Amino acid sequence: MKVSDLAAATNLSVGMVSKIENGGISPSLSTLQAISRGLAIPITWLVSRFEAERTAVYVRAEVLCNEAANKTSASLRQKRLGHASANASGLVVEPCLISLLQGTDIFPVCRHQGMVFLYMLQGEVIYRLGGSHYRMTAGDSLYFDAETAHGPDEIVDLPVRCLSITSSRQDRP
């Protein structure tokens, strides 16, 4: 977007927009509101610090493969693909690769805070969610409130591999 385009969208002069852009003047709140409307962005984007550090979690495949998997039963393995601590909004996200190698275990129904997104990579399972059952195969996904009782009900085709992404809000003091 050119300075002249922004000036036209905000009803400000080209000179005023240029001075604001170059730090020659500090705009008033009403001018910032006009600019945010002209750019179709929240005003907070104009006043937040661009230098603010944002976190990223990078897990190399060989590190993931060499880490001991969390075995919750004889045949169920859960590998954390990363973990992001709560950000400024209090959101915690936990991606996990779940592998089921044998169909001999009984899986209890679980409930917890947050939202869950499941994406089937391999195998077939009947997944229970509250009073509903979903036949899930490779490529299927399920997104739900984790406070609803959920878990695998029947293993149809092994091995089962799925991506599970759980997000929840961390209580802030």
The strand pairing partners of 149, in sequence order, are none
Nearest to 127 by CA among 152, 161, 100: 152
Residue 165, CA distances (Å) to 37, 81, 142 in order: 35, 10, 11
Q: Which fold has domain 61-169?
A: Jelly Rolls (2.60.120)
- The type of residue at 131 is G
Cα dihedral sign for 161, 167, 171, 172?
Answer: positive
- Residues comprising the chain, all counted: 173
Q: Which residue spans of the chain are classified as CATH 2.60.120.10?
A: 61-169
Cα dihedral sign for 106, 109, 110, 116?
Answer: positive
> Which pTM value belongs to this model?
0.64
Spell out, as residue ranges, where the chain has pLDDT lower than 50: 66-71, 74, 173
Cα dihedral sign for 110, 112, 118, 122?
Answer: negative
Tokens of 155: 């293993």
**Which pLDDT tens digit goes with each residue over 120-167?**
999 999 999 999 999 999 999 999 999 999 999 999 999 999 999 999
